[in-house]
């Protein structure tokens, strides 16, 4: 039975489920920062997924990348799996801009201090992002049928 790591859950907003992964928004206002978490128990690395799940995850990464690019027009899109602290497999998809506080350093820079969204911002952005994630899910389901 899949259970989202409590550290991810406590620092993110749930946006929806795709065929393989939960889609989340990290509670960080300076960087549009999304997470994909495959709903598979005890998976820490990409190679531990079955081959068809690896393909599906790549489709989901591509779909999330398009969603983030269309919504935020990043200078650079950072996509990574780290897992040094949270071992549960999760993929970061972060929109970076020259105006962000750490540009051009990585967001895991030692001077990084998270800045949560305000309640007002959450009220504005979550419904719109949930709608986009739902639309993308419909597309992903169509891909699976082909």
**Is residue 125 assigned to a domain?**
yes
Query: In CATH, what number is assigned to the domain containing residue 43?
Result: 3.30.428.10
* Residue 67 maps to a domain: yes
Task: Classify residue 70: in a domain, yes or no.
Answer: yes
| Average pLDDT rounded to a whole number, residues 131-137 | 94
Confidence tier at 20 by pLDDT (50, 70, 90): very high
- Say if 36 falls within a structural domain: yes
**75 in a domain, yes or no?**
yes
Nearest to 28, CA basis, from 112, 145, 85, 89: 112
Q: Is 46 left (phi over 0), alpha (psi -120 to 50) or beta?
A: alpha
**HSE-CB for 100 with a 13 A CA cutoff:** 26
Is pTM beyond 0.85 here?
Answer: yes
Identify which has the larger pLDDT, 73 or 114.
73
CA atoms within 13 A on the CB side of 113: 1
Query: Domains in the chain: how many in total?
Result: 1
Can you give the pLDDT at residue 145?
78
Mean pLDDT of 66-79: 96
The pLDDT of 5-32, averaged and rounded, is 97
Q: What is the pLDDT of residues 89-118, one digit of tens each?
A: 999 999 999 999 889 988 887 778 889 999
Residue 1 lies in a domain: no
Kindly report, residue by residue over 21-39, the tens digit of the pLDDT. 999 999 999 999 999 999 9
Range(s) of the domain holding residue 61: 6-145
Q: Are strands 21-26 and 91-96 parallel, antiparallel or unpaired?
A: unpaired
> Which of 85, 88, 84, 75 has the alpha carbon at shortest distance from 35?
88
- Sheet of 91-96: strand order equals 12-17, 21-26, 33-38, 91-96, 76-80
59 located within any domain? yes
* Inside any domain, residue 41: yes
């Amino acid at each position: 039975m899949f259970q989202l790591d409590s550290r991810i859950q406590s620092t993110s907003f749930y946006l929806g489920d795709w065929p393989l992964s939960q889609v989340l928004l990290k509670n960080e206002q300076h960087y549009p920062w999304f997470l994909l978490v495959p709903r598979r128990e005890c998976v820490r690395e990409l190679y531990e997924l079955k081959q068809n799940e690896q393909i599906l995850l790549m489709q989901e990464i591509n779909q999330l990348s398009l969603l983030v690019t269309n919504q935020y027009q990043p200078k650079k899109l950072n996509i990574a799996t780290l897992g040094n602290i949270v071992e549960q497999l999760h993929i970061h998809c972060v929109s970076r801009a020259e105006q962000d506080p750490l540009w051009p350093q990585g967001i895991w820079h030692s001077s990084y201090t998270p800045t949560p969204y305000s309640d007002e911002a959450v009220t504005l952005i979550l419904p719109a992002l949930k709608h986009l994630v739902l639309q993308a899910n419909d597309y992903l389901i169509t891909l699976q049928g082909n």
